[in-house]
Amino acid sequence: MGPVLAGVLQLLALIGALALAYIPLGDYMAKVYSTDKHWRVEKWIYKGIGADPDTEMRWTAYLRGVLAFSAVGVLFLYLLQRVQGVLPGSLGFASIDPDQAFNTAVSFVTNTNWQSYYGEQAMGHVVQTAGLAVQNFVSAAVGIAVAVALVRGFARSRTGELGNFWADLVRGVVRILVPGAFVAAIVLVACGAIQNFSGIHEVGQFMGGSQQWNGGAVASQEAIKELGTNGGGYFNANSAHPFENPTPFTNLFEIFLILVIPFALTRTFGVMVGSVKQGYAILATMATIWIGFTALMMWTEFAHHGPAFDIAGGAYEGKEVRFGVGGSSIFATATTLTSTGAVDSFHSSFTGLGGGITMLGMMLGEIAPGGTGSGLYGMLIMAVIAVFIAGLMVGRTPEYLGKKIGAREIKLAACYILVTPALVLVFTAAAMALPTPVNSMTNSGAHGFSEILYAYTSASNNNGSAFAGLNADTQWFNSALGLCMLFGRFLPMVFVLALAGSLAEQKPVPATAGTLRTEKPLFTGLLVGAILIVTGLTYFPALALGPLAEGLAS
């Protein structure tokens, strides 16, 4: 079997698995966020945190819950790293420096999981499990909660109430993420991923000598890192490490975990707004972009020119031979089109155009299908923009799901889509203009610029993957990237929840002959076009200086 055919078959198997999970998982999540019944364990949690899960919240109260919970998470994780040296199970590792502790705390709380450290050489068992792994669960649940609040904004009328943040948070963890991660961890352990709390030990090498490795609760963290679109690896090699991702099957299984909740949330959206066709329209938009990007990535990595590439059958540099070009291409596209950031290959070693595809996937806003929750609310924001454009074309007030898109709504949507480009471009320009950040670049020219652009794109879009070749463990990058992660996560949430509150207060508008049918293929095409045009106009000059220049020159 040729490598191209193997890659295509993997893609088809993945699509089939996602299709089988789509309806049952989507319906289950809709039930989770619609029921008024509480499990016993949930009641214990509510009592412990002093929350009343039956109290409805307006968008301002919902936002305060999101920000307060996340602020406590940052503080707790920061302090846990600062005292690591005196904690049991620290494996002899020292406490984390202040700037790196800040960066890591912000990274995991914002669902970014950017890592400027070597996991196996810096973090002990307590920080990994009680700190990082816990945030993998709750940060993902926060994203889903905000998405559900926006869906309620479309579904409800004549009320500003969006549900209860604490109930949405706890249900997301207890009913969705914990059971899903538990099953996934068992599968990974059965396939060879490790799960223990062993200390550091020496391992012999084939070519002589030895190296030191430590064990850890790897399979359980790997499961939630993918299922929650987090991305932070137990080891520096991330999902290219055989302890985290042992076989081609686990590689495909981890891609499935990355994509299954974001895609299924479109079904949840359709059920909650009372029209599964609307969910299918959003799904079709996400799937069109994802399949298109994956096909383009596989083409660039399989068909690159040169004798070495022809002999090897593709661009194998920086890729695990266990997974091949096809598996690595599918993984790279999935992880950058979501807010995952896990990697099973060296993105810096991709072809120039291939590296540009990974960047463009993040620049779209990671909405195809995006992160757990963030992908859905990002796509719905773009849907608002698309119906506004359509309204301008025909000269009538735009409507979406029976809600008028007026001046307030479009201003909030516009603010949402301007946040991350501003962070990416301003901080990239500052880093290129200052001597200290530039000194961290391993490469010069277009590839060196791509390293900087990728880092700020990854941080601002809460992805977390790295282009590599960039020394990001400096005070500048730890601080600047930390700020990008904070603003890139929570400023958009402010606009999303404000939009949800505004929509929930409206009374429904009856559909007429002039209403745009947003469940039709025509709207899907309009939405895809709006996404690509907005992103292209925003980022094309920066991409032209980096990956496009490198790709066209090779």
Note whether residue 100 is domain-resident.
yes
Instruction: For residue 438, give both structure tokens.
Output: 């530039």
Binned average pLDDT, 10 residues per bin, the chain of 554 residues? 83 97 97 95 95 95 97 96 90 91 96 87 89 95 97 93 96 97 97 88 72 84 95 87 93 97 98 96 97 93 64 65 88 94 86 88 93 95 94 83 93 95 94 80 80 92 86 89 96 97 92 84 94 88 85 72
Note whether residue 205 is domain-resident.
no
Q: For residues 238 and 468, give the distance between their C-alpha atoms in angstroms, rounded to a whole number.
A: 12
Helix (H, G, I), strand (E, B) or coil at 384: helix
Residue 27: partners with Cβ closer than 8 Å, 6 or more residues away: 267, 268, 271
Q: Concatenate the DSSP letters of all residues of 229-267 into one string.
A: T----SSTTGGGSTTT--SHHHHHHHHHHHHHHHHHHHH
Does the pTM of the predicted model rise above 0.75?
yes
Note whether residue 204 is domain-resident.
no
Q: Structurally, how many domains does the chain consist of?
A: 1
Closest CA to 378 of 259, 296, 254, 262: 262
Instruction: For residue 541, give both structure tokens.
Output: 């000059």
Helix axes 374-394, 248-272, angle to 10 degrees: 50
Note whether residue 144 is domain-resident.
yes
Write out the residue range of the structural domain in which residue 463 sits: 3-199+212-553
Q: Taking a C-beta distance cutoff of 8 angstroms, is the pair 49, 184 a contact?
A: no
Amino acid at 177: L
Q: Taking a C-beta distance cutoff of 8 angstroms, is the pair 3, 326 a contact?
A: yes
Q: What is the pLDDT, as a whole number, of residue 4?
A: 84
Note whether residue 207 is domain-resident.
no
Q: What is the pLDDT, as a whole number, of residue 312?
A: 52
Note whether residue 206 is domain-resident.
no
CA-based radius of gyration for the chain:
23
Note whether residue 9 is domain-resident.
yes
Residue 200: phi and psi, rounded to 5, are: -80, 135
SS3 string of 76-124?
HHHHHHHCHHHCCCCCCCCCCCHHHHHHHHHHHHCCCCCCCCCHHHHCC
Pairing of strands 399-400, 210-214: unpaired
Note whether residue 55 is domain-resident.
yes
Q: What is the pLDDT, as a whole number, of residue 174?
A: 97
Most distant CA atoms of the chain, gap in Å: 76
Q: For residues 404 and 406, give the distance between their C-alpha atoms in angstroms, rounded to a whole number.
A: 6
In angstroms, the Cα distances linking 350 to 295, 301, 313, 408 are 15, 7, 14, 43
Q: For residues 269 and 265, give the distance between their C-alpha atoms in angstroms, rounded to a whole number.
A: 6
Q: What is the pLDDT, as a whole number, of residue 150?
A: 97
First to last CA, the chain: 29
